[in-house]
Amino acid sequence: MALASFLLLVILLPHLEALSHGPSSNEPDQTMQAMMTQACINIDNQSSCLSNMQAELEKTEPANPSSIITAALRTTLNKARLAIETITKFNSLSFSYREQIATEDCKELLDFSVSELAWSLAEMKNIRAGFKSVHYEGNLKAWLSAALSNQDTCLEGFEGTDRHVERFIRGSLKEVTQLIGNVLALYTQLHSLPFKPPRNSTTKTENSSKFPKWMTEGDQELLKSRPKGMHVDAIVALDGSGHYRTITEAIAAAPSYSNRRYIIYVKKGIYRENIDMKKKKTNIMIIGDGMGQTIVTGNRHFMQGWTTFRTATVAVSGKGFIARDMTFRNTAGPENHQAVALRVDSDQSAFYRCSMEGYQDTLYAHSLRQFYRECNIYGTIDFIFGNGAAVLQNCKIFTRVPLPLQKVTITAQGRKSPHQSTGFSIQDSYIFATQPTYLGRPWKQYSRTVFINTYMGGLVQPRGWLEWYGDFALTTLWYGEYRNYGPGAVLSGRVKWPGYHIIRDAATANFFTVGRFIDGRSWLPSTGIKFKMSYGDDSARRKRITLISFSSIFLVAMVVAVTVGVSHLKSNDPKNGSKSVHEDLATSKKAIQSICATTDYKQECVSSLSSVAGNTTDSRELIMAVFKAAMNQINEGAKKSTLLQDLEKDPMAKKALEDCKELMDSAVDELQHSSSRFGGLDVSKLDNIVTDLRVWLSAVITYQETCLDGFQNTTGDAGKKMREALTTAMHLSSNGLAIVSSISGLLTDLQIPGFGGSRRRLLRDVSDNEFSGPWSNPGVRRLLQVTPTEIEPNIIVAKDGSGKFKTINEAVLEIPKKSNQTFVIYVKEGVYEEYVHINTSMTHVMMIGDGAQKTRITGNKSYIDGTPTFKTSTFAVTGDYFTAKNIGFENSAGALKHQAVALKVQADFSTFYNCSMDGYQDTLYAHTKRQFYRDCTISGTIDFVFGDAAAFFQNCTFVVRKPMDNQQCIVTAQGRKESRQASGLVLQGCNIVSDPAFYPVRFERRAYLGRPWKAFSRTIIMETHIDDLIQPEGWLPWVGDFALDTCFYAEFQNTGPGANTTGRVNWVGVKKNITHEQVLEFTAGRFFLIDEWIREAQVPYTGGMITN
């Protein structure tokens, strides 16, 4: 087919050459018809397409190749508008949350395409009218390339859904996408040669430190001036000293479709907002007070249900955007996957002295021409990605620690067609790799990235580049390196792919410079940002002009072959280019099998992905699909619990079903967090991202297990039905954790410095000075250091009426939702008999009392009285970043009432300082996620510290109380269900002692350190004083030999009469000979990996061993 097309073009060549001057005979008319046919190639309703083309062509006589492109653009533009109308009508139906967002994305992205097609049409009209700009070629290629990519982004947003809506929208987009691809191919072949960089020529290097020639004097002054000395249109200041307090307000006030530069000065501060500058907001310039001073931060991520496209903290679509001295940040963390800090769809946009900070997918250079100068970019996986034409000059690229088993990749360029003028060019920059790092991997078939004159640190891997999957795109990509330096720039070990090039001459490198790659001469001078235009002398430029002139004659003959090729590119798969559908599906199947290889439930993994993955080979998308599949199944479980609850007669089973609904909602939230976290990465914190993912996915498994635990001792078959309903969901959740854990394991196995080996077990160590993230709040430090009389709380609670409220629950109602600012509640001395819940929307709450024995919160709910254990807590915390100081939490139900929780915690990054938790059985329910307890007292009888959190106790006292007759006392009952869960209990520098009432009977009512509640229970006790109440065996079985081989119990350097380990049980799971190096992995700094939240609070804290 390709040969036949080529021969046909050779035959048509002389006629097509003549057509550039207009038709002169019947033969050219026939050739014009052939070109029209090619413009409609592979369109389902080809006769309608040709009819529309003919009608449009009649409006643009005389007929010639240019008029065919104009007619094709008009036809395509009409179809794109029709597609928007169709999708808008369909959007009125009821969808899932993700489908609603994805559908809204599609409408906006199609609107982008309509604009880009309209710009292209206007440019063609100017060309036909004789007003051809010297930059028209760059404009048309950029706009048509962007229009082709938008539909891919639209469909990618439906990953993890049941695909019904996607299939409908794919059908609505199919013809538009094919038409855009065809017109791009036609235009490219009429106006330029395929990319083959010139060889053996040299050009003069223009290494200008001045502002570019194409920049207006006014904009040059703007970039050189200090903000306080320039004229600005709007000032934003958090303290109210400007016109607006938020950037969003300032942008809303900016004129639409302005041709004048509109300047917004944003004073230093942390602006917690998600900003979406729509395409109508053109020529906006935002200037801050400097990187790290003016910060725009958000934490949207894929796991919350956002599409990657919508996770951006700042999104810019209006033409001509400029940013200077700003930081754009997404704090979702590595475990939440895709989480974009900055997304750019702004043509001819520029960023100067800005910082983009995230994890996976930090900088989404989505489309059109972009320039970055002296910027910092932080990330982990694919943290510079998209399909824009982007040049980065004099930038610093920082890799962050990834999740376990993840590989750090800087770029993932998404060029899907060889005709697109897109790619990434990174020049004169610096790669500071803190982890083994790859320069990039091919997200799409024709991925294009080059590094020029860039420093590469020693952890850039010798291979340089990483496969996406198997041999996908290795022959069609274009990756190049030119005159880079540093220990990671050695080329001898680089990949041997056909698409990889060692660039040996300046002429080839020049293709990727500002002047040629993004047509920078036409627009960068007006931004005022200094730049390097090229490498070498101007001979390459002259040669390029000659080639373009030649191409306008010769390459008309390539139209047929190219349009035939493009028709294959318009298949439903965004990654596999001209590969057949069967090949795509086969490759996708391999990708699925690879993703599922590390899971325990491979059958469910493969089947769930096969049903939603289509022909994708994108590892990220497949992993996202795992999370989404789990979410779908959990949602089904939630629906089942609601149905069963309506039918249930047993009161306890009914309450258990109610708990299940709440727990399933929590599980879905965690999966959304994980999915989003996976989507936006910060290379220097990839380790953190993986850690967060493991914590949150561990919580997902625990929530489902907690749901099923609630049916113990109930009548009827509700528990059995719920277990059946959740089986697949639990397996899929387990698969998600397995995949993330495999990434962690790979990094550990590679013995990467700073990750794995002696550095970590669950997480990693961090320096004392590394404070960045949502926990970074100076107010927290001050509040924990002062006495209650010195603080200025937001609300005071006092029983005697001397505060704003008399009850804590009244104060709780005043807590702002999803705040990143610390909200302080001071609870004066008194006994508060109430049940308090700090829910998930109440973040960054601090509660301070007058002392653990003075400010007491008490209740008496119990299991015996008909309340499930999960709901017996006097005080429950699910809002992240909760801090308590000098508070007593109590459940006074007594030993006779069995399970009765005083405090239940499932808040991530929670801290308890100088608090007490008093009860009997199940006093402290450390349910899920990361928790730190310092200088606290916990009292109880049976399993009085239990749950499946990653909970660390430092300098705490565990007081064993007198149980009922014939009962034994157990301090811990850790509930890790799976070996990959990032959970466990660690006691360091603590005391385990008897309550005065228990002391006389301590040898009769035996006491133990712990027992395995779940199969992979994990508890470590180190540097702790253990009194004589603990039996020589140390640990107690749960039932029979359950978990004795799979639990992990360890003791190290403990003291006191109960610390002698010679008489300990001989289970496989009890590690009697744990070494100093091994136990270091369970010190707080390494156990948590992310311990900034503790350090920032400045509670007394030791990150390593206490004694040495």
The full 3-state SS of 716-765, as one line of letters, equals CCHHHHHHHHHHHHHHHHHHHHHHHHHHHHHHHHCCECCECHHHCCCCCC
Count of other CB atoms within 10 angstroms of residue 891: 29
User: 757 burial class (0-12, 13-18, 19+ CB within 10 angstroms)?
Assistant: middle
Across 201-205, 671-675, 933-937, least confident range: 201-205
Both structure tokens of 504:
């040996």
Q: Is 1007 helix (H, G, I), strand (E, B) or coil?
A: strand
The whole-number pLDDT of residue 217 equals 55
Say yes or no to pLDDT of 18 above 70.
Answer: no
Both structure tokens of 390:
């982007």
Q: In which band, very low, low, confident or very high, does the pLDDT at 545 lie, cut at 50, 70 and 90? A: very low
The more confident residue out of 347 and 273 is 273
The more confident residue out of 495 and 122 is 495
Within 409-487, where are the H helices? none
CA gap 107, 90 in Å, rounded: 11
Select the highest-mean-pLDDT range: 167-181, 291-305, 687-701, 708-722.
291-305
On whether the CB atoms of residues 951 and 972 are closer than 8 A, the answer is no
CA gap 104, 511 in Å, rounded: 37
Rounded to whole angstroms, what are the CA distances from 1055 to 190, 969, 1101? 83, 20, 21
Instruction: Write down the mean pLDDT value for the chain.
Output: 79
| Location of structure tokens 């930038």 | 395
939 bridge partner residues: 918, 959
Both structure tokens of 208:
């200008």
Say yes or no to pLDDT of 800 above 90.
Answer: yes
The whole-number pLDDT of residue 617 equals 53
Across 52-66, 190-204, 923-937, least confident range: 190-204
The whole-number pLDDT of residue 920 equals 97
The more confident residue out of 307 and 713 is 307
Q: In which band, very low, low, confident or very high, does the pLDDT at 528 lie, cut at 50, 70 and 90? A: low
Q: Which fold has domain 33-191?
A: Butyryl-CoA Dehydrogenase, subunit A; domain 3 (1.20.140)
Say yes or no to pLDDT of 349 above 70.
Answer: yes
The whole-number pLDDT of residue 729 equals 76
Say yes or no to pLDDT of 560 above 70.
Answer: no
Across 458-472, 837-851, 950-964, 1080-1094, least confident range: 1080-1094
Both structure tokens of 116:
């880009």
Same fold, 33-191 and 543-555+588-749: yes
Query: Catalytic positions, please?
Result: 382, 943
The whole-number pLDDT of residue 673 equals 66
Handedness of CA 104, 108, 114, 117 (dihedral sign): negative
The whole-number pLDDT of residue 587 equals 55
DSSP string, 127-194: HHTT---TTHHHHHHHHHHHHHHHHHHHHHTTTTS-SHHHHHHHHHHHHHHHHHHHHHHHHHHHH---
* Stretch 1032-1050: mean pLDDT: 96
Q: Which fold has domain 836-1096?
A: Pectate Lyase C-like (2.160.20)
The percent of residues above 70 in pLDDT, for the chain, comes to 74
Q: In which band, very low, low, confident or very high, does the pLDDT at 973 lie, cut at 50, 70 and 90? A: very high
Q: In which band, very low, low, confident or very high, does the pLDDT at 789 lie, cut at 50, 70 and 90? A: low
CA gap 135, 284 in Å, rounded: 23
What does the pLDDT look like over 631-677, one tens digit per residue? Answer: 777 777 667 666 666 656 678 777 777 877 787 787 777 777 666 65
The more confident residue out of 966 and 902 is 902
Say yes or no to pLDDT of 24 above 70.
Answer: no
The whole-number pLDDT of residue 538 equals 40
Statement: 543-555+588-749 belongs to CATH 1.10.1060.10: no
* Stretch 485-502: mean pLDDT: 91
Across 145-149, 559-563, 585-589, least confident range: 559-563
Say yes or no to pLDDT of 247 above 90.
Answer: yes
| Location of structure tokens 């970043």 | 881
The whole-number pLDDT of residue 12 equals 36
Across 343-352, 429-438, 511-520, 736-745, least confident range: 511-520
What does the pLDDT look like over 717-739, one tens digit per residue? Answer: 777 777 777 777 778 778 778 87
The whole-number pLDDT of residue 383 equals 96
The more confident residue out of 459 and 75 is 459
Say yes or no to pLDDT of 368 above 90.
Answer: no
Regarding beta strands 396-399 and 376-379, do their DSSP bridges make them parallel or antiparallel, or are they unpaired? parallel
Say yes or no to pLDDT of 1030 above 50.
Answer: yes
CA angle (1092, 1094, 1099) in 5-degree steps: 140
The whole-number pLDDT of residue 542 equals 39
The more confident residue out of 985 and 143 is 985
The more confident residue out of 437 and 531 is 437
CA gap 546, 10 in Å, rounded: 22
What does the pLDDT look like over 829-851, one tens digit per residue? Answer: 999 999 999 999 999 999 999 99
The whole-number pLDDT of residue 590 equals 67
On whether the CB atoms of residues 754 and 459 are closer than 8 A, the answer is no
Q: In which band, very low, low, confident or very high, does the pLDDT at 951 lie, cut at 50, 70 and 90? A: very high
Say yes or no to pLDDT of 496 above 90.
Answer: yes
Handedness of CA 288, 292, 297, 301 (dihedral sign): positive
* Stretch 697-708: mean pLDDT: 81
* Stretch 203-226: mean pLDDT: 46
CA gap 333, 1092 in Å, rounded: 13
Select the highest-mean-pLDDT range: 165-174, 450-459, 742-751.
450-459
The whole-number pLDDT of residue 571 equals 36
The whole-number pLDDT of residue 640 equals 64
Handedness of CA 1066, 1069, 1074, 1079 (dihedral sign): negative
Say yes or no to pLDDT of 468 above 50.
Answer: yes
Q: In which band, very low, low, confident or very high, does the pLDDT at 620 lie, cut at 50, 70 and 90? A: low
The whole-number pLDDT of residue 150 equals 81
CA angle (837, 839, 841) in 5-degree steps: 155
Angle between helices 559-569 and 26-39 (to 10 degrees): 10
- Reference 954, options 938, 970, 932, 973; nearest CA is 932
Half-sphere exposure of residue 282, counting CA atoms within 13 Å on the CB side?
9
Say yes or no to pLDDT of 1011 above 80.
Answer: yes
Say yes or no to pLDDT of 154 above 90.
Answer: no
Both structure tokens of 591:
């990708």
Both structure tokens of 506:
């300046």
Say yes or no to pLDDT of 547 above 70.
Answer: no
- Reference 416, options 116, 196, 13, 147; nearest CA is 147
The whole-number pLDDT of residue 191 equals 57
Say yes or no to pLDDT of 763 above 50.
Answer: no
CA gap 449, 382 in Å, rounded: 12
The whole-number pLDDT of residue 765 equals 30
Say yes or no to pLDDT of 33 above 60.
Answer: yes
Say yes or no to pLDDT of 17 above 50.
Answer: no
Q: What is the largest CA-CA distance in the chain?
A: 115
Say yes or no to pLDDT of 36 above 90.
Answer: no
The whole-number pLDDT of residue 561 equals 27
The whole-number pLDDT of residue 221 equals 58
What does the pLDDT look like over 269-293, one tens digit per residue? Answer: 999 999 999 989 999 999 999 988 9
Contacts 24+ apart (CB under 8 A), 278-282: 278/317, 278/318, 279/111, 279/112, 279/115, 279/317, 279/318, 279/319, 279/345, 280/256, 280/318, 281/251, 281/254, 281/256, 281/317, 281/318, 282/256, 282/257, 282/258, 282/318, 282/319, 282/320
* Stretch 810-821: mean pLDDT: 93
The whole-number pLDDT of residue 397 equals 92
CA gap 153, 310 in Å, rounded: 11
Say yes or no to pLDDT of 549 above 50.
Answer: no
The whole-number pLDDT of residue 527 equals 54
Could you state, in order of their start, the residue ranges of all structural domains in the chain? 33-191, 543-555+588-749, 836-1096
The whole-number pLDDT of residue 1032 equals 96
CA gap 1014, 977 in Å, rounded: 5
